Amino acid sequence: MKQRRILITGARGGLGTAIAKALANPQTELILAGRQAPDALAHELQARAIALDLRQHADVARCVQELGDLDGLVQAAGPELTMDYAATFEPGDFRAGLETELLGLIALVGGACDGLRRRRGAVVALTSAALERHASQDALSTVPKAGVTAYLRALAKEEGRYGLRANCVAVGVIEAGMFLELKEEQLADNWLASAKANIPLSRFGQAHEVAAAVAFLLSDQASYITGQTLHVDGGYSI
Tens of pLDDT, residue by residue over 68-87, are 999 999 999 987 777 778 78
Q: What is the pLDDT of residue 138?
A: 81
Q: What is the pLDDT of residue 44?
A: 98
Tens of pLDDT, residue by residue over 127-141, are 999 889 888 778 888
Averaged over 21-26, what is the pLDDT? 97
For residue 42, is pLDDT > 90?
Answer: yes
Tens of pLDDT, residue by residue over 175-191, are 887 666 665 555 566 66
Q: What is the pLDDT of residue 176?
A: 83
- In sequence order, what E strands does the chain have? 4-9, 28-34, 48-51, 72-75, 122-128, 165-171, 229-232
Averaged over 103-125, what is the pLDDT? 98
Domains located in the chain, CATH noted: 4-229 (3.40.50.720)
Is the pLDDT higher at 178 or at 15? Answer: 15
Residue 76, SS3 per DSSP: coil
- In sequence order, what E strands does 45-164 have? 48-51, 72-75, 122-128
Give percent of the chain with pLDDT exceeding 70: 93
Q: What is the pLDDT of residue 192?
A: 76
Q: What is the pLDDT of residue 208?
A: 98
Q: What is the pLDDT of residue 119?
A: 97
Q: For residue 1, what pLDDT band results from cuts at 50, 70 and 90? A: low
Q: What is the pLDDT of residue 193?
A: 78
Q: Are 131 and 174 in contact (CB under 8 A)?
A: no
Q: Is 168 exposed, middle or buried (0-12, 13-18, 19+ CB in 10 A)?
A: buried
Is the pLDDT higher at 61 or at 93? Answer: 61
- pTM across the whole model: 0.93
For residue 153, is pLDDT > 90?
Answer: yes
Residue 58, SS3 per DSSP: helix
Is the pLDDT higher at 103 or at 137? Answer: 103
